[in-house]
Amino acid sequence: MGWSWVQIVKDSGFLNSIATYKCGIIHDWPSSLRAEVAAIYAALSASPANSVVYIYTDSQSSIESLKHCFLFDYSDSRLYYKTTNFELWAIIQKLIVDKNLSVLPFKVKAHSNFYWNDFADSLANTAHTSEDAVLISRLDLAAVHDYILNYDDVICKSNLRHL
Protein backbone atom coordinates (compact mmCIF):
# COMPACT_ATOMS: atom_id res chain seq x y z
CA MET A 1 0.00 0.00 0.00
CA GLY A 2 1.39 3.42 -0.87
CA TRP A 3 1.21 6.71 1.00
CA SER A 4 2.42 10.24 0.26
CA TRP A 5 2.42 13.82 1.43
CA VAL A 6 3.11 17.12 -0.31
CA GLN A 7 4.34 20.35 1.27
CA ILE A 8 3.32 23.45 -0.64
CA VAL A 9 4.68 26.97 -0.38
CA LYS A 10 1.72 29.04 0.73
CA ASP A 11 1.40 32.54 -0.76
CA SER A 12 4.53 32.15 -2.87
CA GLY A 13 3.03 34.00 -5.78
CA PHE A 14 3.48 30.97 -8.01
CA LEU A 15 0.74 28.52 -8.83
CA ASN A 16 1.39 24.97 -7.62
CA SER A 17 4.63 25.72 -5.72
CA ILE A 18 5.89 22.52 -4.12
CA ALA A 19 8.46 22.82 -1.33
CA THR A 20 8.96 19.07 -1.00
CA TYR A 21 7.11 15.76 -1.07
CA LYS A 22 7.63 12.18 0.02
CA CYS A 23 6.03 8.86 -0.74
CA GLY A 24 6.41 5.44 0.74
CA ILE A 25 4.94 2.04 1.32
CA ILE A 26 3.60 0.03 4.24
CA HIS A 27 3.65 -3.70 4.81
CA ASP A 28 1.80 -5.94 7.27
CA TRP A 29 -1.94 -5.27 7.44
CA PRO A 30 -2.20 -2.77 4.55
CA SER A 31 -5.39 -0.72 4.28
CA SER A 32 -6.35 2.65 2.86
CA LEU A 33 -6.80 4.10 6.36
CA ARG A 34 -3.40 2.81 7.44
CA ALA A 35 -1.86 4.46 4.37
CA GLU A 36 -3.52 7.78 5.31
CA VAL A 37 -2.24 7.46 8.89
CA ALA A 38 1.26 6.61 7.64
CA ALA A 39 1.25 9.74 5.46
CA ILE A 40 0.25 11.91 8.44
CA TYR A 41 2.97 10.29 10.55
CA ALA A 42 5.61 10.84 7.85
CA ALA A 43 4.57 14.47 7.28
CA LEU A 44 4.66 15.28 10.99
CA SER A 45 8.03 13.51 11.33
CA ALA A 46 9.44 15.87 8.69
CA SER A 47 7.88 18.98 10.25
CA PRO A 48 10.12 21.31 12.27
CA ALA A 49 9.44 21.73 15.98
CA ASN A 50 7.10 24.50 17.14
CA SER A 51 5.39 24.80 13.77
CA VAL A 52 1.83 24.95 12.52
CA VAL A 53 0.96 22.07 10.19
CA TYR A 54 -2.11 22.16 7.95
CA ILE A 55 -3.20 18.69 6.89
CA TYR A 56 -5.59 18.37 3.97
CA THR A 57 -6.97 14.86 3.56
CA ASP A 58 -9.92 13.15 1.93
CA SER A 59 -10.17 10.74 4.88
CA GLN A 60 -12.77 11.82 7.45
CA SER A 61 -11.75 8.87 9.63
CA SER A 62 -8.18 10.19 9.75
CA ILE A 63 -9.41 13.63 10.75
CA GLU A 64 -11.55 12.24 13.57
CA SER A 65 -8.71 10.04 14.86
CA LEU A 66 -6.26 12.93 14.60
CA LYS A 67 -8.54 15.01 16.82
CA HIS A 68 -8.25 12.31 19.50
CA CYS A 69 -4.48 12.82 19.47
CA PHE A 70 -5.03 16.32 20.85
CA LEU A 71 -6.44 14.83 24.06
CA PHE A 72 -3.81 14.64 26.78
CA ASP A 73 -4.78 11.18 28.04
CA TYR A 74 -5.64 9.58 24.69
CA SER A 75 -3.02 6.80 24.74
CA ASP A 76 -4.01 5.88 28.31
CA SER A 77 -7.73 5.59 27.58
CA ARG A 78 -9.99 2.74 26.50
CA LEU A 79 -10.74 4.71 23.32
CA TYR A 80 -7.10 4.26 22.29
CA TYR A 81 -7.37 0.47 22.13
CA LYS A 82 -10.64 0.66 20.20
CA THR A 83 -9.08 2.89 17.52
CA THR A 84 -7.93 1.31 14.27
CA ASN A 85 -4.15 1.65 13.86
CA PHE A 86 -3.79 2.70 17.48
CA GLU A 87 0.00 2.23 17.47
CA LEU A 88 0.51 4.78 14.71
CA TRP A 89 -1.93 7.21 16.34
CA ALA A 90 -0.02 6.93 19.64
CA ILE A 91 3.23 7.69 17.81
CA ILE A 92 1.55 10.66 16.12
CA GLN A 93 0.32 11.94 19.48
CA LYS A 94 3.84 11.63 20.92
CA LEU A 95 5.26 13.45 17.89
CA ILE A 96 2.78 16.31 18.28
CA VAL A 97 3.63 16.70 21.98
CA ASP A 98 7.40 16.27 21.63
CA LYS A 99 7.70 18.70 18.74
CA ASN A 100 5.09 21.11 20.14
CA LEU A 101 3.17 21.08 16.84
CA SER A 102 -0.10 22.80 16.11
CA VAL A 103 -1.90 20.49 13.71
CA LEU A 104 -4.96 21.72 11.81
CA PRO A 105 -6.78 19.03 9.79
CA PHE A 106 -9.03 19.95 6.86
CA LYS A 107 -11.37 17.73 4.86
CA VAL A 108 -11.00 17.67 1.09
CA LYS A 109 -13.57 15.99 -1.10
CA ALA A 110 -12.07 12.91 -2.74
CA HIS A 111 -11.82 12.73 -6.53
CA SER A 112 -13.01 16.33 -6.91
CA ASN A 113 -10.11 17.59 -9.06
CA PHE A 114 -8.44 19.24 -6.06
CA TYR A 115 -4.92 19.48 -7.50
CA TRP A 116 -2.89 18.72 -4.34
CA ASN A 117 -5.04 15.77 -3.32
CA ASP A 118 -4.83 14.31 -6.82
CA PHE A 119 -1.05 14.85 -6.87
CA ALA A 120 -0.62 13.11 -3.49
CA ASP A 121 -2.85 10.24 -4.68
CA SER A 122 -0.74 9.79 -7.81
CA LEU A 123 2.45 9.72 -5.71
CA ALA A 124 0.94 7.10 -3.40
CA ASN A 125 -0.17 5.00 -6.37
CA THR A 126 3.36 4.93 -7.79
CA ALA A 127 5.20 4.53 -4.46
CA HIS A 128 5.76 0.80 -4.93
CA THR A 129 7.82 1.46 -8.08
CA SER A 130 9.63 4.57 -6.81
CA GLU A 131 13.31 4.34 -5.90
CA ASP A 132 12.80 7.10 -3.32
CA ALA A 133 9.92 5.39 -1.49
CA VAL A 134 10.28 5.10 2.26
CA LEU A 135 9.26 1.95 4.12
CA ILE A 136 7.80 2.62 7.56
CA SER A 137 9.57 -0.03 9.58
CA ARG A 138 8.71 -1.99 12.69
CA LEU A 139 11.27 0.04 14.63
CA ASP A 140 8.94 3.04 14.50
CA LEU A 141 6.37 1.09 16.49
CA ALA A 142 8.77 0.38 19.35
CA ALA A 143 9.09 4.04 20.34
CA VAL A 144 5.75 4.44 22.13
CA HIS A 145 5.14 1.34 24.24
CA ASP A 146 7.17 -1.07 26.31
CA TYR A 147 5.46 -3.99 24.59
CA ILE A 148 4.41 -4.94 21.07
CA LEU A 149 1.78 -7.61 20.53
CA ASN A 150 2.78 -9.95 17.72
CA TYR A 151 1.85 -13.37 16.49
CA ASP A 152 4.06 -15.54 14.29
CA ASP A 153 6.48 -12.61 13.87
CA VAL A 154 3.70 -10.32 12.55
CA ILE A 155 2.79 -7.25 14.59
CA CYS A 156 -0.90 -7.24 15.52
CA LYS A 157 -2.37 -3.87 14.63
CA SER A 158 -6.07 -4.53 14.97
CA ASN A 159 -8.59 -3.99 17.70
CA LEU A 160 -7.55 -6.52 20.33
CA ARG A 161 -11.16 -7.54 20.91
CA HIS A 162 -11.39 -8.72 17.31
CA LEU A 163 -7.99 -10.40 17.16
pLDDT digits (tens, 9 = 90+) for 22-55: 888 877 667 788 888 888 988 898 899 999 999 8
Its pTM stands at 0.74
- Given CATH 3.30.70, say whether it is the number of domain 3-155: no
Q: What is the pLDDT of residues 126-136, one digit of tens each?
A: 887 777 777 66
Distance of CA 32 to the CA centre of its chain: 11
For 127-163, give one letter per residue: b (16+ CB within 10 A) or e: beeeeebbebeeebbeebeeeeeeeeeeeebeeeeee
Residue 115 has pLDDT above 60, yes or no: yes
Confidence of residue 139 (pLDDT cuts 50, 70, 90): very low
Rounded to 5°, angle at Cα 85 from 1 and 43: 65
Q: Point out which residues pair with 150 in neighbouring strands.
A: 155
Query: Domain segments of the chain: what residues?
Result: 3-155
